[in-house]
Amino acid sequence: MHRRLRASLTAGAVAACLAGTAAATAVSAHAASAGCQVTYTIGAQWPGGFSANVTVKNLGDPVTSWTLRWTFGAGQTIGQAWNADVTQSGAAVTAANVSWNGSLATGGATSFGFNGTWNGSGNPVPAGFTLNGVACTGSATASPSATPSTSPTASPSPSPSASPSSGPPPVRTVRVFWLKPSDVAYDQRYPDGIADVMREAQRFFKQQLGKTFTLNGPVVEVVNGDRPRSWYENTPRCGEKYWWAVCNMQEELRRKFGLGAPDSRWINVGEVSAEGDGAGGGGGNGWVILSGHDADGAAGINGPMNRWYGGMVHELGHAFGLPDATSTDGTCMSASFYAYPNCQFSQAQKDRILNGPYGGFLS
């Protein structure tokens, strides 16, 4: 389903909601050594299939490339992967960096993910990992527990907060926000997952255009919302209820951070953990505004990741000035778009991005 934002907010098609549901089970294992720390998290699991995210933190000397290896213990197999080149031989898995995430400073981290299959009776966390041949099994300062845990929801933890007083990031960059309503527990999967979606979109723009946008550090600014989830979902704004959650988010971000719509300084991406009946989102005029199912998808708990990668590429296309394609034509601006990464920008679309009001943001 695609619909359009109205008035001066945006003029793009919205990201469609993925049909169907899946049980969300968080399964985490932490292993640390003098050289590396790995967090392996199963974000969603369903009969015969699952999705997982892997975070690699370098505790040793800086590296310019990395290879992570592990062995599955229950016949799991990997299908589609993102943010890493992943291969499998029998139970042995090898994940290598892609072009943009090979350099890891001391204390630096990166994440990748994949969809896989399991036997329906057991999907244990891998017993150990090696990074560039070094086992991630030693001790480290403030090391997390090495005991696997299973929980249907992430445990609440203190929430960092973005603040206007902390100073804005450089101009001509893409600024990304996750707005957490006041009654929603902080969950690190959301800023991590949204950041991964943005990095994949950044890579795809580079592949398609020869240029791409700049992300800030941290990529995602976490914003503690002023109101509970129900307020964002049920307070009228922007006409139809479809838009209430995302328009309420956008209004709060504009007020707190002094943002325009459009804004000549940044392209702004906002995701809110609120939705309501039939809620959606869209892009245009230098903005992407997305509701709870997109935030959940980025966090790995709502369907295959390529769906959410494709949705962000599509909506960023709108933010950079592209309309929807007039038909399902194989471009990333096609309506009902699910085929990522099997799409491209047409030459006319590339020219429109590069010559549009935000074309100068690309380098």
pLDDT band at 204 (very low <50, low <70, confident <90, very high): very high
Over residues 3-10, mean pLDDT: 35
Burial class (CB in 10 A: 0-12, 13-18, 19+), 333: buried
Taking residues 309-330, report their average pLDDT: 89
Burial of 78 (0-12, 13-18, 19+ CB in 10 A): middle
Q: Report which residue type is found at 311.
A: G
Out of 89-103, 196-210, 236-250, pick the least confident: 89-103
Would you place residue 35 in the very low, low, confident or very high pLDDT band (cuts 50, 70, 90)? confident
DSSP 151: E
pLDDT at 127: 87
Amino acid occupying residue 38: V
The pLDDT value recorded for residue 338 is 57
Strands annotated E in the chain: 26-32, 36-46, 49-58, 67-71, 77-82, 85-89, 92-96, 109-117, 129-131, 134-135, 149-151, 173-180, 215-224, 266-272, 282-284, 287-290
66 has pLDDT over 70:
yes
Buried b (16+ CB within 10 A) or exposed e, 201-211: bbbbbbebbee
CATH number given to 164-361: 3.40.390.10
**Which H/E stretch holds residue 189?**
helix 189-209
Instruction: Tell me if residue 207 falls in helix, strand or coil.
Output: helix
Q: How confident is the model at residue 108 (pLDDT cuts 50, 70, 90)?
A: confident
Contact between 245 and 276 under an 8 Å Cβ cutoff? The reply is yes
CB 284 within 8 A of CB 263: no
What is the identity of the amino acid at 213? Answer: F
Our CA dihedral for 311, 317, 321, 326, rounded to 10 degrees, sits at -80
The CATH class of the 26-151 domain is mainly beta
pLDDT for the residue 100: 80
* Mean pLDDT calculated for residue range 296-319: 90
Q: pTM to 2 decimals?
A: 0.59
Domain coordinates in residue numbering, the chain: 26-151, 164-361
Q: What is residue 9's three-state secondary structure?
A: coil
339 or 28: which carries more pLDDT confidence?
339
As a whole number of angstroms, the distance between CA 282 and CA 206 comes to: 22
Nearest to 250 by CA among 217, 272, 235, 221: 272
Q: Is the pLDDT of residue 211 over 80?
A: yes
What pLDDT is recorded for position 22? 29
